[in-house]
Amino acid sequence: MTNRELEILNIIKKNPLVSQNEIAEMLNITRSSVAVHIANLTKKGIIKGRGYLIEESRYVSVIGGANVDIVGFPNNSLRRKDSNPGLVKLSVGGVARNIAENISRLGINTKLFTVVGDDMYGEKIVDECKFANIDTSYIKTISNESSGTYLAILDEKMDMDVAISSMDIFKYLNENYLYENAITLQGSEIIVLDTNLEKETLEYAVENYKDKKLFLDTVSFSKALRAKDVLGYFHTIKPNKLEVEALTGIMIENEDDLITASNIIHNLGVKNIVISLGEKGAFYSTKGSQGRLKAKKPNIKNATGAGDAFQAGLVFGEYNALPFKESVKYAMAASLVAMESEDTINKNISVEKLEEYINKLEEY
> What's 30's domain CATH number?
1.10.10.10
**46 and 190 share a domain?**
no
CA dihedral 129, 187, 175, 312 (to 10 degrees): -40
pLDDT 10s digits, 5-16? 878 888 887 787
Is residue 144 classed exposed, middle or buried when 0-12, 13-18 and 19+ CB atoms within 10 A define those classes? exposed
The pLDDT score that the predictor gives to residue 231 is 97
Q: How confident is the model over 311-329, as a mean pLDDT? A: 96
Among 246-255, 305-314, 354-363, which stretch is predicted with the lowest mean pLDDT?
354-363
pLDDT at 56 over 60: no
Residues 26 and 65 in one domain: no
Q: What is the DSSP letter of 79?
A: -
Rounded to 5 degrees, what angle do the CA atoms 102, 229, 96 make? 15
Q: Where does a domain end: 54, 79, 94?
A: 54
CA-wise closest residue to 331 among 266, 193, 218, 236: 236
Decide if 188 contacts 212 (C-beta within 8 A): yes
Confidence class of residue 364 from pLDDT cuts 50, 70 and 90?
Answer: low
Among residues 12, 31, 54, the one where a domain terminates is: 54
Domain boundary among 14, 29, 54: 54
Handedness of CA 270, 275, 276, 281 (dihedral sign): negative
% residues pLDDT > 90 (the chain) = 71
Domain of 186, CATH number, reads 3.40.1190.20
Do 76 and 194 have their domain in common? yes
In this structure, of 34-48, 240-254, 275-289, the range with the lowest mean pLDDT score is: 34-48
Q: How far is CA 41 from the centre of its chain?
A: 26
43: left (phi over 0), alpha (psi -120 to 50) or beta: alpha
pLDDT of 49 reads 63
Q: What single DSSP character describes residue 17?
A: T
Range name among 64-68, 104-108, 130-134, 158-162 with the lowest pLDDT average: 158-162
Tell me the pLDDT tens digit for each residue of 166-185.
989 999 999 999 999 998 99
Contacts 24+ apart (CB under 8 A), 265-268: 265/231, 265/237, 268/231, 268/232
Neighbour order of strands in the sheet with 272-276: 110-113, 60-63, 190-194, 213-217, 236-237, 272-276, 282-286, 289-295, 361-363
Is 70 exceeded by the pLDDT of residue 53? no
How far is 98 from 104, CA to CA, in rounded Å? 10
- Burial of 285: CB neighbours in 10 Å, binned 0-12, 13-18, 19+: buried
Could you tell me if 98 and 15 lie in one domain? no
Give yes or no: residues 120 and 91 share one domain.
Answer: yes
Query: What tens digit of pLDDT does each residue of 82-129 get?
Result: 999 999 988 899 999 999 999 999 999 999 999 999 999 999 999 999
Same domain as 340, residue 226: yes
Both 99 and 168 in one domain: the answer is yes
For residues 282 and 274, the answer to whether their CB atoms sit within 8 Å is: yes
Q: What is the band of 55 on the pLDDT scale with cuts at 50, 70, 90?
A: low
Mean pLDDT of the chain: 91
How far is Cα 112 from Cα 75, in angstroms, rounded to an integer?
A: 35
- Say whether both 332 and 265 belong to one domain: yes
239 has pLDDT over 90: yes
The residue-averaged pLDDT of 197-210 equals: 96
Judged against a pLDDT cut of 90, whether residue 42 lies above it is answered with: no
Query: Which of 33-42, 85-94, 96-105, 240-249 has the least mean pLDDT?
Result: 33-42
Classify 142 in phi/psi space as left (phi over 0), alpha (psi -120 to 50) or beta: beta
Average pLDDT of span 35-44: 81
Instruction: For the beta carbon of residue 157, count every other beta carbon within 10 angstroms.
Output: 12
- Position with higher pLDDT, 360 vs 309: 309
What's the confidence (pLDDT) of residue 1?
A: 64
Comparing C-alpha atoms, which of 35, 50, 49, 43 is closest to residue 4?
A: 35
Output the pLDDT for position 51.
Answer: 66
Q: How far apart are alpha carbons 237 and 217 in whole angstroms?
A: 6
State how many domains the chain has.
Answer: 2
Q: Are residues 119 and 259 in the same domain?
A: yes
> DSSP assignment of 290-301, as one string?
EEEEEESS---S
331 and 309 together in one domain: yes
- Whether 273 and 315 share a structural domain: yes
Q: Is residue 202 domain-shared with residue 217, that is, in the same domain? A: yes
AA letter at 48: K
The whole-number pLDDT of residue 173 equals: 95
pLDDT of residue 311: 98
- Taking 90 as the threshold, does the pLDDT of residue 67 lie above it? yes
C-beta of residue 246 within 8 angstroms of C-beta of residue 227: no
Domain hosting 14: range is 3-54
